[in-house]
Structure 1
Amino acid sequence: MTSEAGQLTLDEAYSIASRVRGIQGKKRVGRKVGFTNRAIWPVYGVDQPIWGEVYSEGLFSTDQPVNLARYSEPRIEPEIVLGLKHAPIAEMDNAQLAGCVEWVAPGFEIVQSIYPGWKFSVEDSIVAQGLHGCLVLGDKIAATHDVLTGLAEVPLALFKGAEAIESGKGENALGGPIEVLAHLVSLLSDTDQLQGGELVTTGTLTDAWPVSPGEQWSAGFGGVMDTELSVRFT
């Protein structure tokens, strides 16, 4: 690992990640916030959320199969995604932050680990671009007041084929997606601030589950979202 014996601080890890992104030169379409589900912190040996970037080349619709060959030890995470109309700032309260959101959508983030067996530190995960692989984005839902205030109560059921895998709820991610947005805004430096038009995927509502070619996964999002999402892996 990169940070054994405390060799890296959080600031250093984010600095390395930023330098790597600069070399790659990819088109950013948004951010991912990871480890927002505190229930899984002990599983991965972490103790706080992290963030990374989402790129246009890694954004998929539900009718596009995802080729897993490009990812290392891939896993699937069902998430609620926010689409921003306006740029949020740190001085905003949660109601003002919610006012920056134009749409919400179901999402599957495919995460990956370059560290064998998913063994890493928080700093390692930051250096590895927040463990982000790609994002499968479902149908967008207008961010009305009722939708935004009901996101924390959204129930979720995750399936592999016809097999029920796990259930979750919007509040599993730091209390709700708007709370995740607030936390992300507090984490970002002046040079990394969110912009209108970006999306934010707010973290898994279940554990992250290993996926393999040939599988089809789906999730049902209830409550104010009332929608489904599916993805096929090749």
Structure 2
Amino acid sequence: MVAAFERLTQAAASGVPCAPVRDLIGRDDLAAAYAVQAALTEARVAAGARIAGRKIGLTSEAVQRQLGVDQPDFGILFDDMAYADGDVIPAGRVLQPRAEAEIAFVLRSDLAEGPLDTAQVRDAIAYAVAALEVCGSRIAGWDISFGDTVADNASSGAYVLGTERRTLDAIEPVDVAMSMTVNGAEVSTGTGAACMGDPVEAVVWLARMARDLGEPLRAGQVVLSGALGPMRPVAPGDTVTAALSGLGTVTVGFAEGATA
């Protein structure tokens, strides 16, 4: 575990992607992978970062089949990952960036006790908002197994929230339709049903998993619930916009310059 931690830490610090860590922790050892992620999180917090929420990954059955797993994963969102609608992400800020569109939820209450069922999770959600996640991998060439991506904080990089907030009384996440463009050309489409059948059910899964691992979801945290369509690579100078029915649009740019 220590060697995997050090390999990923060096990649993040240097901006040079590293070899996969599955040779060190195994391809699908869930406990070992999350232990590496937890150690990286502890180091980030010790250095002054604040936990802003979680992201859920591998919510698509197709992606799960590709990696040979039968469950999603999750990673930590830190405060320095957040960008505002219309911002430009500096060159090199995210290694090997890829964008995906999803629904984000902001919690109004803790999800630490009780059954953590659908009704409780829906009640705990303050509002939903359109979001872009900019995934990034510290693993060279995105050559990842389940163990690699979990250890690497679920391949997290940055995220952008839209400005239109909707309660679950006003919108049903499963029915949201999404279109994502890069420089005006449509590159990804999908619906809420593509995210574990319903984005709210993805949060139910996360709430239980987070509690089981000893770090429950808390009021005020952001939850990125998972992609509604395929993830696409982005390059310096690109502008990405996602339009989600009932939730408006969210846009982010990528600064010109060298990226890893």
What's the TM-score, normalizing by structure 2?
Answer: 0.83
Which ranges in structure 1 are unaligned for 5 or more consecutive residues?
none
Q: Deviations over 1:59-100 (max 9, x none)?
A: 000132112412221100101000000112461321221000
Is 1:4 paired with 2:12?
no
- In structure 2, relative to structure 1, the CA distance for the partners of 1:66 and 1:102 (3 Å cut) is same
Match of 2:115 among 79, 91, 109: 91
Cα distance 1:202–1:68, how it changes in 2: closer, same or farther (>3 A)?
farther
1:55: Cα distance to partner? 0.8
2:136 paired residue number? 112
- Once the 2 structures are TM-superposed, how far is the Cα of residue 10 of structure 1 from its aligned partner? 0.6
Query: Gapped runs of 5+ residues in structure 2?
Result: 1-19, 256-260
1:46 to partner: Cα distance: 4.3
Matched AA of 1:209: R
| Structure-2 change in CA distance of 1:20 and 1:6 (3 Å) | closer
Residue 75 of structure 2: which of 49, 52, 56 is its match? Answer: 52
- State which of 133, 142, 145 in structure 2 corresponds to 1:121: 145
Identity of aligned residues (%): 23
C-alpha RMSD of the superposition: 1.8
Q: Residue deviations 1:138-177, cap 9 Å, x none?
A: 1141314242xx1101001111122111210011110111
Letter paired with 1:4: D
- 1:51-90 alignment runs, 5 A limit: 51-88=74-111, 89=113
1:40/1:207 contact within 8 Å kept: no
Number of positions where the alignment pairs a residue of Structure 1 with one of Structure 2: 230
> Matched residues in 1 for 2:184 and 2:157: separation?
25
Q: How does 1:1-234 map to 2 (within 5 A)?
A: 1-4=20-23, 7=26, 9-25=29-45, 26-88=49-111, 89=113, 91-147=115-171, 150-188=172-210, 189=212, 191-222=214-245, 225-234=246-255
TM-score, scaled relative to structure 1: 0.92
Letter in 1 for 2:173: L
CA distance in 2, matches of 1:182, 1:35: 15
How far, CA to CA, are the matches of 1:63 and 1:84 in structure 2? 24
> How far does residue 33 in structure 1 lie from its aligned partner after superposition?
0.5
Stretches of 4+ aligned residues off by more than 4 angstroms: 43-46
